[in-house]
């Protein structure tokens, strides 16, 4: 990347007595006292821009103790933040690290972020599809934790493919191929990385201001010209209710707008798994099926809907991205993208050594298939991890044979479980107890994939 710059907090030490900042032993004079900042938010006050700049910078460099930031995070969780506070908090986290610059590219940039779900392999066909229409897609992705799958884990099931790229290699691939899916560097919003780990152990993860600023600080620092957010809602999503998902989406759209990034959000259903697979290699294969003009209808529908938003935000109007899945242009970009990162697009994908079929016990219409239960089953089979350092099995996961609205008979296979370690089957099937409903001659009204659009 063209010399990403590193910014620091705009606050400067003020004259006066040194404050008590926990275990900080430096003789440096601090601009604020952490206790006063905590008290302001505890008492439902509004943090000033200078307070926010200081507390993020001071926490990043260790001048605010972990227990003090824990208290502030809990105060934010309980009392919230207004738009100006969230915007400044996000800007301060961006300023803690580097900002990437894509201005040298010959094409506009657009990115997508999903809040995570079960079977959510959309990034894989989406990035090459959008790139096929002349838009650069710098997709910085992560790994899975718990029941939600990670894009990098999926792609690493392709022999030879590597997630780590230098900034210069990323820039070159965007210019030559048009799409890159890779790991985010440690230089983007380091304050967020430190704060996220703290939130994870202090039960403050669910605070919408902190969720929104965490996501958007990295996406804005990434330097994309436009951003489309896929905010999931339902049992398999982080946001269980449409009201909470809509609040998160609106907050993130506002943050992008305040930062000068064209931003739009789609609320999409995650009560049922996306597509027919939840795992790593099996989701890659399903993505390849979509790129070849086939694949499950819901995956195709959401891929095309998000592609339309990304293309429109990047100024590419009057094109139909559905055509790119049919004429092979998206597949061509996919193959070049995989090769550029050391992968072999022609290689056979890993297959789990063991499998077990779960069958319907009654006949009728499948009216419910719980996304969370399927995600937990895939996780327990080895497709996911409980801790970030845990390994994953490339071939593990769940393949669905029926989706809500389908007619099934007693004894028909509903899903097949895959793993290299058969002792995992018992806990996976336990997670699936009560995960589906079959009703005799029931009328089924499907939930739309795209529930709402916020711009």
The catalytic residue positions are 113, 192, 199, 214, 218
DSSP 311: H
Separation CA 446–CA 237 (nearest Å): 18
Separation CA 356–CA 8 (nearest Å): 54
Give the orientation angle of helix 297-313 with respect to helix 281-291, to 10 degrees: 70
**Tokens 């380091």 — which residue?**
190
Which H or E run includes 2? none
Separation CA 346–CA 257 (nearest Å): 41
Beta strands in 259-326 (DSSP E): 262-269, 277-279
User: Per 3-state DSSP, what percentage of the chain is helix, strand, and coil (rounded to 5)?
Assistant: 40, 15, 45
Q: Judge whether 455 and 265 are in contact, CB under 8 Å.
A: yes
Separation CA 162–CA 450 (nearest Å): 32
Burial 142-177 (b: 16+ CB within 10 A, else e): bbbbebbbbbbbbbbbbeebebebebeebbebbeeb
Separation CA 163–CA 142 (nearest Å): 9
Q: Which residues are CB-contacts of 144 (< 8 A; sequence separation ≥ 6)?
A: 150, 153, 383, 384, 385, 392
Cα–Cα distances in Å, from 228 out to 15, 202, 306, 319? Answer: 44, 30, 7, 17
């Amino acid at each position: 990347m063209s010399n990403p710059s590193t910014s620091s907090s705009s606050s400067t030490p003020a004259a006066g007595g040194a404050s008590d900042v926990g275990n900080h032993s430096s003789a440096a004079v601090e601009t604020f006292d952490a206790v006063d900042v905590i008290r302001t938010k505890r008492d439902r006050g509004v943090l000033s821009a200078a307070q926010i700049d200081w507390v993020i910078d001071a926490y990043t460099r260790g001048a605010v103790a972990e227990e003090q930031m824990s208290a502030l995070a809990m105060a934010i969780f309980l009392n919230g933040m207004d738009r100006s506070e969230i915007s400044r908090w996000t800007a301060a986290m961006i300023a803690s690290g580097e900002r990437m610059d894509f201005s040298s590219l010959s094409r506009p940039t657009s990115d997508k972020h999903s809040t995570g779900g079960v079977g959510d392999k959309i990034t894989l066909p989406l990035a090459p599809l959008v790139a096929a229409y002349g838009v650069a897609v710098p997709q910085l992705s992560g790994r899975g934790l718990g029941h939600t799958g990670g894009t990098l884990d999926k792609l690493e099931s392709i022999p030879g493919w590597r997630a780590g790229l230098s900034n210069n290699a990323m820039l070159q691939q965007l210019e030559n191929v048009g799409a890159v899916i890779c790991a985010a560097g440690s230089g983007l919003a380091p304050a967020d990385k430190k704060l996220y780990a703290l939130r994870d152990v202090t039960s403050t993860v669910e605070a919408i201001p902190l969720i929104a600023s965490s996501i958007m600080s990295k996406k804005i620092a990434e330097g994309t010209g436009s951003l489309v957010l896929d905010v999931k809602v339902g049992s398999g999503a982080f946001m269980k209710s449409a009201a909470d998902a809509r609040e998160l989406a609106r907050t993130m759209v506002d943050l992008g707008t305040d930062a000068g990034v064209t931003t739009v959000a789609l609320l999409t259903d995650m009560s049922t798994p996306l597509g027919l697979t939840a795992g790593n290699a099996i989701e890659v294969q399903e993505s390849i099926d979509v790129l070849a003009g086939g694949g499950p209808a819901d995956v195709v529908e959401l891929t095309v809907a998000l592609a339309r938003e990304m293309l429109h935000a990047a100024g590419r109007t009057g094109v139909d991205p559905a055509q790119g899945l049919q004429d092979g242009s998206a597949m061509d970009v996919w193959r070049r993208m995989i090769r550029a990162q050391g992968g072999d697009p022609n290689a056979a994908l890993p297959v789990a050594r063991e499998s077990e079929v779960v069958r319907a016990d009654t006949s009728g219409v499948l009216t419910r298939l719980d996304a969370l239960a399927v995600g937990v089953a895939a996780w327990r089979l080895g497709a996911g991890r409980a801790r970030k350092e845990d390994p994953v099995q490339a071939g593990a996961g769940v393949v669905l044979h029926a989706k809500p609205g389908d007619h099934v008979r007693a004894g028909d296979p509903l899903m097949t479980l895959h793993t290299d370690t058969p002792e995992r089957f018992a806990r996976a099937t336990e997670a699936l107890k009560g995960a589906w409903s079959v009703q005799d001659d029931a009328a089924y009204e499907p939930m739309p994939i795209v529930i709402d659009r916020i711009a």
